[in-house]
């Protein structure tokens, strides 16, 4: 099978091949089918030359998006994209010979814990997270139908999965507006980030509301920001920080070059900068979903440990990403990871790779008052304490308005002139107190701790499992801070396991004693820190690896699955997201808020169109019915000018209501009985950014005969 193109050299250069699979009409494997590279031969032989790498904690080669059946039932529109769902067949060792079927086993060696070989030669399972890294010598044996056998020595290499490095670092960062940083300040910025504890930093390299490339990409070498990425990479490398690249939505690029060339842009980045990670911000238009697999495959062919971070929701057509980012947005404690949209996407609970969440929060410029740096510290520590990865944005962009209000120059002439750097400097100073050891070991290179949860705060453990860290703080998530009784008990922990306890903020040892199954620490001399009071417990011996969990536990948010209100004719009927005039079909906002969510019987879900502030929701009842009542519920986003219209044929429409909505408003519109098949909710306003209401969000649209 060969693919080629002579029409466009760049397109042909970007074609890497394809996957092919022989299956039945339902896409399932055909029983007893024997695969062979060379076909029938006189001599039986094993033809597999090498085994793919096994990544610890990950499914071995095979990849299936879990939960798609429940997802399709909940959001029927997703079935249209099933062709693009991420999947990979199980790895199978191959043989050549004449007397099939072949049967397989191991004559020497043993697969790592979690993996097994089936009689037909497939290697299945998930590598246990405590498996020792390294090479596992094996001898695979194939036996044909006549009883003849052949063997071959192979090696299975077990490596730590790519997400583990960022799990351990616990702190990542984006940099918005890097083109506004004076080049002579790159080194200064990198030093501030290192002092805060960052190990992965990803400046915006392309996009985020614009089509600006920040490096001399091969198709647009004259970009005005060509020196940004090369300069920042050099500065970050000098501080030992792993460099990554943020890439915004690619749907805007056709004005510059063709969408098929995106893979070449990514390859250009890999060759020039060898990034340790890519941060993909909301994948892009639905017609381009199939390219995702090619992008990821190309990147991994250069570096299989390059971390692929997906910002948004883990839609099944978004490929086999490594790490999911969920935005806490622009306010401290605004949205918490693990609680965002998990009612809608059941596959979040069981991903073929380990389930990781990076939580992004930006530090907003505030011209009228100082930001409370300690609040940002508390959120970062709380995220890490609950097992997540904290991403505190180093937005360094400035604005003419902010500069005028603060008396700073614009454009900025130094790092000191941007709107948020003072917050990051304060955090860095807190993490590195004068004449005291750094506090960074307490929240970087750590895992969630083995102790029981407690009201006073969080416990984490160093990745070498030799030090426990107690973070005593107050937050809106129920943590109460320093105990008033002057002591705390950490359970389960024996005094015989502990070498010493240290109040890290002042580097002072503390007294401790055994109390039941816990270690009681005397806090009478400890003063509450403005951000986080930290106690280090040094252990006599490291804890065993299986005693420590690595990730935040998945917290399933209980939601009503949606029930039909008696008499509601619109329940689970097909719908469309349209432009205001109804002439153009629209995609869902954020690739998430499909029309079906307005008729699913669950008022917590809602439909929103993407790309148009003014838009129309249309529901098809399937047949003409006599209707006299329509109910509409809005979510937080609401229209300030909306209409309800009905039609028997989808051509001639009758408006039965025109008015304004409110946040979470519920409205009932009664009219004379009429024949109706189609019902529309039209949002005339808001019709642009920044208007009251934001954008119409339809939680439920119900239609009744009476």
User: In this structure, what CATH number is given to the domain that contains residue 149?
Assistant: 2.60.40.10
Do both 129 and 169 map to the same domain? no
Residue 582 forms part of a structural domain: yes
Q: How far apart, in whole angstroms, are the C-alpha atoms of residue 65 and residue 321? A: 11
- Both tokens of 563, joined, read 């029930």
CATH value at residue 489: 2.60.40.1180
Residue 688 tokens read as: 């642009």
Cα distance between residue 564 and residue 560, in whole Å: 11
Kindly state whether residues 154 and 173 are assigned to the same domain. Answer: no
User: CA 376, CA 388: separation in Å to the nearest integer?
Assistant: 15
| 358 CB-near residues (< 8 Å, 6+ apart) | 166, 172, 309, 323, 324, 325, 326, 388, 389, 390, 391
Look at the block and give the residue holding tokens 């439909």. Answer: 607
Residue after which a domain boundary falls, among 116, 131, 160: 160
> Residue 54 is part of which domain span?
40-160
C-alpha closest to that of 12 among 258, 346, 213, 358: 258
Q: How far is it, in rounded angstroms, from Cα 597 to Cα 570?
A: 12
Question: Which of the 8 DSSP states describes residue 86?
Answer: -
d(CA 63, CA 85): 10
- According to the model, what pLDDT value does residue 171 have? 92
* Residue among 314, 265, 258 at smallest CA distance from 294: 265
- pLDDT of 313 reads 64
CB 202 within 8 A of CB 215: no
List the one residue out of 128, 131, 151 whose CA is nearest residue 141: 151
Same domain, 499 and 392: no
Q: Which two tokens stand for residue 339?
A: 């609680």
Same-domain pairing of 153 and 167: no
DSSP of 408-448: --SS-SSGGGSSSHHHHHHHHHHHS-TTS--SGGGTSSEEE
User: Which residues, given as ranges, of the chain have pLDDT below 50?
Assistant: 1-12, 367-369, 557
| Residues 290 and 407 both lie in one domain | yes
Q: Alpha-carbon torsion 631, 637, 639, 642, what sign? A: negative
Domain final residue, candidates 160, 191, 206: 160
User: Which H or E run includes 692?
Assistant: none
Per DSSP bridges, beta strands 323-329 and 467-472 are: unpaired
343 token code pair = 């009612």
- Both 177 and 323 in one domain: the answer is yes
421 and 478 belong to one structural domain: no
Locate 634 and state its tokens: 């809005």
Question: Does some domain include residue 10?
Answer: no
Residue 9 lies in a domain: no
* CA dist., res. 521 & res. 451, Å (int): 14
Query: Does 22 map to a domain?
Result: no
**pLDDT, tens digit, 9 for 90 and up, residues 22-77:** 777 766 778 777 777 777 888 999 999 999 999 998 999 998 877 777 777 778 88
On whether both 362 and 415 belong to a single domain, the answer is yes
CA distance 88 to 440: 40
Written as six digits, the tokens of 396 are 């360094």
Query: Do 307 and 218 belong to one domain?
Result: yes
Q: Which of 91, 126, 160 is the last residue of a domain?
A: 160
Question: Are residues 144 and 198 both part of a single domain?
Answer: no
Strand partners, 446: 462
Instruction: Using CB atoms within 10 Å of the CB of residue 285, give its burial: 0 to 12 exposed, 13 to 18 middle, 19+ buried.
Output: middle
* Cβ atoms of residues 54 and 124 within 8 Å: no
Q: What's the number of domains the chain is made of? A: 4
């Amino acid at each position: 099978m060969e693919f080629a193109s002579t029409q466009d050299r760049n397109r042909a250069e970007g074609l890497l091949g394809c996957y092919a699979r022989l299956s039945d009409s339902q896409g399932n494997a055909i029983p007893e089918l024997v695969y062979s590279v060379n076909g029938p031969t006189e001599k039986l032989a094993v033809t597999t030359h090498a085994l793919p790498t096994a990544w610890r904690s990950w499914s071995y080669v095979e990849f299936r998006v879990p939960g798609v059946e429940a997802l399709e039932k909940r959001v029927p529109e997703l079935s249209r994209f099933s062709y693009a769902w991420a999947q990979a067949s199980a790895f199978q060792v191959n043989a050549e010979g004449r007397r099939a079927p072949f049967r397989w086993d191991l004559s020497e060696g043993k697969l790592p814990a979690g993996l097994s070989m089936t009689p037909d030669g497939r290697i299945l399972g998930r590598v246990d997270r405590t498996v020792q890294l390294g090479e596992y010598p094996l001898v695979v044996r194939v036996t044909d139908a006549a009883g003849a056998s052949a063997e071959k020595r192979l090696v299975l290499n077990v490596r730590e999965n790519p997400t583990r490095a960022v799990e351990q670092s616990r702190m990542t960062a984006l940099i918005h507006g890097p083109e506004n940083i004076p080049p002579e300040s790159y080194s200064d910025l990198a030093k501030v980030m290192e002092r805060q504890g960052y190990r992965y930093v990803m400046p915006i390299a392309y996009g985020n509301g614009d089509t600006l490339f920040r490096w001399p990409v091969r198709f647009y070498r004259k970009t005005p920001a060509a020196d940004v990425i090369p300069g920042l990479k050099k500065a970050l490398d000098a501080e030992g920080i792993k460099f990554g690249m943020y890439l915004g939505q690619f749907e805007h690029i056709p004005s510059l070059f063709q969408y098929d060339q995106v893979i070449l842009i990514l390859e250009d980045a890999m060759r020039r900068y060898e990034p340790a990670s890519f941060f993909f911000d909301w994948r892009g238009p639905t017609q381009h979903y199939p390219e995702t697999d090619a992008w990821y495959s190309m990147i991994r062919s250069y570096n299989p440990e390059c971390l692929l971070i997906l910002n948004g929701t883990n839609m099944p057509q978004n490929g086999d990403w490594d790490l999911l980012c969920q935005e806490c947005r622009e306010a401290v404690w605004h949205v918490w990871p693990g609680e965002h949209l998990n009612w809608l996407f059941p596959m979040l609970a069981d991903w073929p790779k380990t389930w990781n969440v990076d939580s992004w929060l930006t530090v907003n410029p505030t011209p009228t008052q100082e930001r409370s740096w300690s609040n940002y510290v508390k959120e970062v520590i709380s995220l890490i304490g609950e097992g997540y990865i904290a991403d505190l944005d180093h937005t360094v962009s400035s604005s003419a308005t902010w500069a005028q209000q603060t008396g700073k120059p614009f454009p900025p002439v130094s790092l000191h002139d941007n709107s948020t750097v003072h917050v990051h400097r304060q955090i860095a100073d807190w993490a590195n107190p004068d004449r005291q050891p750094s506090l960074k070991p307490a929240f970087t290179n750590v895992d969630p701790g083995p102790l029981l949860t407690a009201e006073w705060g969080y416990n984490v453990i160093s990745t070498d499992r030799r030090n426990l860290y107690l973070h005593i703080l107050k937050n809106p998530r129920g943590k109460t801070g320093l105990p008033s009784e002057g002591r705390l008990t950490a359970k389960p922990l024996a005094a015989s396991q502990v070498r010493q306890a240290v109040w890290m903020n002042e580097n002072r040892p503390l007294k401790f004693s055994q109390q039941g199954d816990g270690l009681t620490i005397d806090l009478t001399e400890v003063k509450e820190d403005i951000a986080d009071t930290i106690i280090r417990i040094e252990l006599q011996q490291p804890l065993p690896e299986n005693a420590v969990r690595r990730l935040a536990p998945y917290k399933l948010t209980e939601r009503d699955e949606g029930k039909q209100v008696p008499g509601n004719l619109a329940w689970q009927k097909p719908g469309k997201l349209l432009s205001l005039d109804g002439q153009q079909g629209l995609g869902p906002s954020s690739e998430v808020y499909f029309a079906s969510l307005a008729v699913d019987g669950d008022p917590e879900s809602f439909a929103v169109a993407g790309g148009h502030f003014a838009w129309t929701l249309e529901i098809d009842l399937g047949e003409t019915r006599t209707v006299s009542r329509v109910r509409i519920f809005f979510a937080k986003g609401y229209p300030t000018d909306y209409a309800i219209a009905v039609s028997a044929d989808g051509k001639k429409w009758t408006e039965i209501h025109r008015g304004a909505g409110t946040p979470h408003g519920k409205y009932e519109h009664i009219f004379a009985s009429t024949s109706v098949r189609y019902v529309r909710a039209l949002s005339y306003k808001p019709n642009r950014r920044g208007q009251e209401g934001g954008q119409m969000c339809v939680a439920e649209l119900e239609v009744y005969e009476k």
